[in-house]
Amino acid sequence: MYIQQLYTGCLAQAAYYIEAGHDAAVVDPMRNPEPYLQLAKERGTKIKYVLETHFHADFVSGHLDLANKTGANIVFGPTATPGYRAHVAEDGELLPLGDMYIKVLHTPGHTIESACYMLVDKEGKEQAIFSGDTLFIGDVGRPDLLSGNLPKEELASMLFDSLNAKIKTLPDDVVVYPGHGAGSACGKNLSTDSQSTIGKEKQFNYALKITDRNTFITAVTTDQPAVPGYFFKDAATNKGGYTAYDKVLEQSLNALDPRSFHAMQKEGVVVLDTRNPADFATGFVPGSLNIGLNGDFAVWAGTLIAPNANILLVTEPGREIEAIERLSRIGYDHVAGYLKGGFEAWHSSDKPGDHVNIITASDIQDLQNTSDYALIDVRNRKEAAKDRMTGAVHIPLNELAAKADTLHKEHKWLVYCAGGYRSMIAASFLKLQGFHNVASVEGGIANVRKTAPELIELGMETE
């Protein structure tokens, strides 16, 4: 038996490679099949199953591409209705894997078709459970991410039954391998740990400790993080099918000179600059949105760019494929091309550029004393509830598009977040909306705490 977790930090998503004998199964693979193909090749195994725990909302799974390249069977849990060839398993069905078995456990609640996959050895002992979005470490899957027409309360009630009948009854030493970790929007209290046990989760997981149905329903349906707009599109894509990743990559790798790039931009194509915030600030193609590859790139792209938008990329030379792949993970397959040579090529062509002012923490007090800038805090509500810069307007980044028209465009706006990544996204977005006097706090509020703590107050009322 061999188990390897393949973790994608940008989406806080865990896929798994399971091996028994010369057979392998992959649970919830990401879009690009190459890592799983390479792993199977290195270990001399054949991928027999691609196990899908549910129709994912937060990413486009790689099940179709991986199955097409290996001949593996795609497996879903009971009640799933995929729009392509797949095996819809029965509850309790055993799938042979080498000298072991994969047992299918139907666990509706996060979605109707949600399933967990139990690894059972040849003696019948339950070894490990791949719990998808049914059970996380420290949390359970949220029941409000589009599953038919059922209300979240009804799905939460189903989840209560699934946990009590299928999960809490398992032996305490069964290892838990969850589908997500901390940072995922699929839950609100996810741990940074990569694995746990049933016994530990029964002891420490708040949701598993609740024994009253109504209390459980209230607990798992309140205070959930905001849902990025692309989630509902991705769930439909995973159910209905999608374009092969190889084809997406081929049609997206379209190198454009500055003249061709600019011509396409004038037609309304979104320009996405994936460089880090500091590089973007010094110079960029006017009208660009900055979302750096070195942060939560996919989530913010899926929050601020329409799902079917055509996109032009500006990247650090050599990172074009990475940007295309990471967009494809959330179903953003319409990359029209990239700027050959990056921003340096644009700058060398004598085309006009734009910039964002960077304000250091030590300079902020002077700016506030002269009222040169008004402050915007774009952190999330939990962050802003702990502390803020005095006088700041709080608009979480995921709400900025809806609330930008409440801000006066003639003001000078100084944007901050925790460390500077989200504030540059916000600054570039505001400039796209016609805000010309926008600056970003270097290093975010973390630097202000060190350099000018007198500018920070504790506590903040949030709507």
Kindly report, residue by residue over 118-137, the tens digit of the pLDDT. Answer: 999 999 999 999 999 999 99
- Domain at 103, CATH number: 3.60.15.10
Q: Read off the pLDDT band of 146 (50, 70, 90).
A: low
Contacts of residue 292, defined as CB under 8 A and 6 or more positions apart, other chains included, come to 274, 275, 276, 277, 280, 421, 424
The alpha carbon dihedral of 298, 303, 307, 310 has a sign of negative
- pLDDT: which is higher, 361 or 387: 387
pLDDT at 164 over 80: yes
Average pLDDT rounded to a whole number, residues 361-380: 79
- For the chain, what is the mean pLDDT? 94
| Vertex 353 angle, CA 347 and 355, to 5° | 120
Residue 183 has what pLDDT?
85
Hey, how many other C-beta atoms are within 10 angstroms of the C-beta on 436?
11
Burial 81-96 (b: 16+ CB within 10 A, else e): ebeeebbbbeeebebe
Measured N-to-C along each axis, helices 245-252 and 320-328 cross at an angle, to the nearest 10 degrees, of 140
Residue 463 has what pLDDT?
42
Whether 238 is in a domain gets the answer: no
pLDDT at 96 over 80: yes
Which residue is associated with the tokens 């299918």? 104
| Residue that is last in its domain, among 208, 233, 258 | 233
- Domain at 324, CATH number: 3.40.250.10
| Residue that is last in its domain, among 313, 348, 383 | 348
Average pLDDT rounded to a whole number, residues 196-200: 98
Cα 388 to Cα 377: distance, rounded to the nearest angstrom: 8
Average pLDDT rounded to a whole number, residues 299-328: 96
CA distance readout (Å), 397 to 8, 24, 432, 447: 22, 41, 15, 19
> Do 135 and 32 have their domain in common?
yes
Q: Read off the pLDDT band of 148 (50, 70, 90).
A: low
The token pair that represents 292 in the structure block: 């750096």
> Do 342 and 372 have their domain in common?
no
> Do 85 and 117 have their domain in common?
yes
Whether 463 is in a domain gets the answer: no
> Do 377 and 445 have their domain in common?
yes
| Residue that is last in its domain, among 214, 233, 252 | 233
> Do 129 and 184 have their domain in common?
yes
> Do 147 and 126 have their domain in common?
yes
The token pair that represents 302 in the structure block: 């899926």
> Do 344 and 362 have their domain in common?
no
> Do 363 and 406 have their domain in common?
yes
pLDDT at 461 over 60: no
CA within 13 Å, CB half, 403:
12
With beta carbons less than 8 A apart as the criterion, state whether 66 and 46 touch. Answer: no
Three-state SS at 83: coil
Average pLDDT rounded to a whole number, residues 399-408: 94
Whether 300 is in a domain gets the answer: yes
Residue 212 has what pLDDT?
97
Residue 114 has what pLDDT?
97
> Do 24 and 172 have their domain in common?
yes
Burial 334-355 (b: 16+ CB within 10 A, else e): bbbbbbbbbbebbbeeeeeeee
Whether 117 is in a domain gets the answer: yes
With beta carbons less than 8 A apart as the criterion, state whether 323 and 336 touch. Answer: no
Cα 152 to Cα 150: distance, rounded to the nearest angstrom: 6
Whether 267 is in a domain gets the answer: yes
Whether 402 is in a domain gets the answer: yes
> Do 217 and 262 have their domain in common?
no
| Vertex 46 angle, CA 40 and 49, to 5° | 105
> Do 290 and 141 have their domain in common?
no
- pLDDT: which is higher, 391 or 213: 213
Residue 263 has what pLDDT?
96
Whether 432 is in a domain gets the answer: yes
> Do 203 and 172 have their domain in common?
yes
- Per-residue pLDDT tens for 447-456? 999 888 888 8
The boundaries of the domain holding residue 421 are 357-458
Whether 184 is in a domain gets the answer: yes
- Per-residue pLDDT tens for 315-370? 999 999 999 999 999 999 999 999 999 999 999 998 999 999 999 877 887 766 65
Give the total number of structural domains in the chain: 3
Residue 366 has what pLDDT?
72
Q: What are phi and psi of 317, to 5 degrees?
A: -50, 130
Which residue is associated with the tokens 């709400």? 399
Q: What is the pTM of this model?
A: 0.93
pLDDT at 55 over 70: yes
